[in-house]
């Protein structure tokens, strides 16, 4: 499955879900619905060698396994920040393909 070759902003990585590491090392944060689109959110504690991250699987999207991750999260992430992150992601989606578009 294609993924976007470069992040759109520092701390952002866009990848298909299948490219993520073992899902058993994540904490389920539940579903987040924004502007009619639903994402499953998971948090990964990076421990001493990796950055903490939040992974969003776009479960209502047109492309199975597509989503994005935010990296470098510290502390708790608010629902408002999750909504803002998801809206930023959705703003970059090409409606014709369902994937991020680059200018």
| Boundaries of every domain in the chain | 12-91
pLDDT in the model for residue 88:
94
pLDDT in the model for residue 45:
79
Instruction: Tell me how far apart the alpha carbons of residues 63 and 58 are, in angstroms, rounded to a whole number.
Output: 8
SS3 50: coil
pLDDT in the model for residue 17:
53
Instruction: Tell me how far apart the alpha carbons of residues 103 and 92 are, in angstroms, rounded to a whole number.
Output: 10
Which regions of the chain are under pLDDT 50?
Answer: 1-9
Tokens coding 88: 């930023």
pLDDT in the model for residue 44:
83
Is the pTM higher than 0.75? The answer reads: no
Question: If we measure between CA atoms, which residue out of 36, 35, 37, 41 comes closest to residue 54?
Answer: 41
């Amino acid at each position: 499955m294609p993924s976007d070759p470069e992040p759109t902003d520092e701390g952002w990585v866009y990848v298909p879900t299948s490219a993520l590491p073992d899902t058993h090392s994540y904490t389920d944060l539940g579903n987040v619905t924004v502007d009619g689109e639903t994402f499953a959110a998971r948090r990964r504690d990076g421990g001493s060698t990796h950055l903490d991250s939040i992974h969003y699987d776009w479960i209502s999207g047109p492309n199975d396994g597509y989503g994005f991750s935010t990296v470098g999260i510290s502390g708790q992430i608010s629902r408002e920040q999750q909504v803002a992150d998801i809206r930023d992601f959705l703003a970059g989606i090409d409606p014709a393909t369902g994937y991020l578009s680059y200018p």
